[in-house]
């Protein structure tokens, strides 16, 4: 069986240098539309969404960080509906009220000793001791022993 050879074309259909060029053919009209730019070089290829001569281009829409230009009513960066975004803000506000501020040293570093002490006191109070008894146990046993007991029991907090 002989393999049929496809002749390689020198120029695509519609190109002015093609042997069967007809300036009024649909291929020639399309070739001119895509390749001849009377105003000079293009910043975007023909039919690109940002090209000025593309129907429905989005050049008139402002570009802002995190905002979908086709859906500016959605929350920036997350794309959430306004009611979902508001519910999320309310949930975060409730969680923020429960958070404790991290103790800091005057030099700007975290006071890890205060964090450890608070963690040990919280553990002892969860074990059923009142604050005074918890402080007494902490003073007698030491932070290391209390935190080791906490780690052994796998307690949270």
- pLDDT band per the 50, 70, 90 thresholds, residue 6: confident
Lowest mean pLDDT among 57-66, 89-98, 125-134: 57-66
Q: Which residue has the higher pLDDT, 83 or 40?
A: 83
Mean per-residue pLDDT over the chain, rounded: 87
> What's the whole-number mean pLDDT along residues 56-63?
81
In this predicted structure, what is the pLDDT of residue 157? Answer: 52
What predicted TM-score, i.e. pTM, was given to this entire model?
A: 0.43
- The answer on pLDDT for 139 being more than 60 is yes
Q: Which two tokens stand for residue 136?
A: 């007494």
Average of pLDDT values for 105-126?
Answer: 91
Residue 133: CB partners within 8 Å, gap ≥ 6? 124
How much is the pLDDT for 44? 77
Angle in degrees, CA 135, 140, 145, rounded to 5: 95
For the chain, the structural domain boundaries read 9-57, 69-99, 112-153
- Asked if 118 and 147 touch (Cβ cutoff 8 Å), the reply is no
């Amino acid at each position: 069986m002989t393999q049929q050879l496809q002749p390689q074309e020198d120029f695509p259909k519609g190109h002015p240098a093609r042997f069967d060029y007809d300036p009024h053919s649909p291929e020639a009209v399309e070739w001119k539309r895509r390749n001849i730019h009377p105003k000079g070089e293009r910043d975007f290829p023909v039919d690109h969404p940002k090209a000025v001569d593309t129907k429905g281009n989005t050049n008139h829409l402002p570009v802002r960080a995190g905002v979908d230009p086709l859906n500016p009513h959605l929350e920036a960066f997350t794309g959430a509906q306004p009611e979902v975004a508001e519910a999320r803000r309310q949930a975060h506000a409730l969680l923020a009220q429960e958070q404790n501020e991290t103790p800091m040293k005057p030099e700007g570093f975290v006071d890890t000793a205060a964090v450890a002490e608070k963690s040990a006191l919280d553990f002892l109070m969860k074990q059923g001791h009142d604050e005074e008894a918890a402080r007494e146990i902490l003073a007698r046993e030491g932070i290391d022993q209390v935190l080791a007991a906490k780690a052994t029991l796998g307690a949270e907090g």
